[in-house]
Amino acid sequence: MRVGLMVALLLVVVSGPAMAQVTPAVEIGLGYAFLYDDEIDEDLPLGWYADIAGNLTSSLGLVGEIGGSYKTVDSGIGDETLHTAMGGLRLTHRGDGANFYLQVLAGAAKAKVTFMDESDSVTDFALQPGVGLECDTGEGVGFRIGADYRRVFSEGQGVNQWRATAGFVIRAGGR
C-alpha cells in the first residue's frame, strides 16, 4: 500500500507541466543534518551532509551523498558517530523560484561508539527515501530543506532513523 502510494505521488510530481527554465547539469548540496535514532532513542544534533546530483533530464537525476552525525555522551566520556555513503535517484518538479524533490538512496551506514578509550563500530546496508524543497536565491545558488527516513539493516533487524536537513545548493551547467 505504501509503495503504491509513493509511486503514485512520484508520477504526479514528474508529470506536472514543465516550466520554462534551464535545467542545471549538476547540483551540489552542502548543509546541516539533525538525526534521531529510534534504536538508541537519542538525537545526534551535530551533523552534516554533502551531495552531488547529475541531472539526466529536467526531472530525473543520479545522486551521490555522504554525511555524518555526532553526539558526545556522559559529559565527554563517550562519543557516538554515524557516517553514511549512499547513492540513488532524485525526481524533481521544477517550478518558478522553487523546486520540490523526492529521492531514494541506498548504501552504507557506519556506526561507531567510543567509551573511555574503547570503541566498537559496525557497517550495515541502509535505505533512505526523502523529500525536499529548494528555493532559488539567484545566481545559481539556492536554499534547501529536507526530511529523510533511513532504515539501517543491522544484524537481522532494522533500525529506524529520521533526519532533517538544511543547507545550500549550487547549480552549474545547463541542459
1: cell is 500500500
Confidence of residue 75 (pLDDT cuts 50, 70, 90): low
Position 113 scores a pLDDT of: 87
- Spell out the domain ranges in the chain: 25-172
Compute and round to an integer the Cα radius of gyration of the chain: 17
How high does pLDDT run on average in the chain? 87
CATH number of 25-172: 2.40.160.20
Flag whether the pTM goes above 0.75: yes
Position 21 scores a pLDDT of: 65
pLDDT tens, position by position, 100-143: 999 999 999 999 988 887 888 999 999 999 999 999 888 889 99
Q: How far apart are CA 46 and CA 144, in angstroms?
A: 18
Q: How far apart are CA 18 and CA 138, in angstroms?
A: 20
| 99 three-state secondary structure | strand
DSSP H or E run through 38:
none
pLDDT tens, position by position, 11-56: 444 434 433 468 899 999 999 999 999 988 889 999 999 999 999 9
Q: How far apart are CA 83 and CA 109, in angstroms?
A: 6
Sort 110 into a burial class: Cβ within 10 Å, 0-12 / 13-18 / 19+: middle
Q: How far apart are CA 22 and CA 95, in angstroms?
A: 11
Q: Report the candidate in 92, 90, 91, 94 with the shortest Cα–Cα distance to residue 18.
A: 94
Q: How far apart are CA 17 and CA 168, in angstroms?
A: 26
Is the model more confident about 98 or about 1? 98
Position 17 scores a pLDDT of: 41
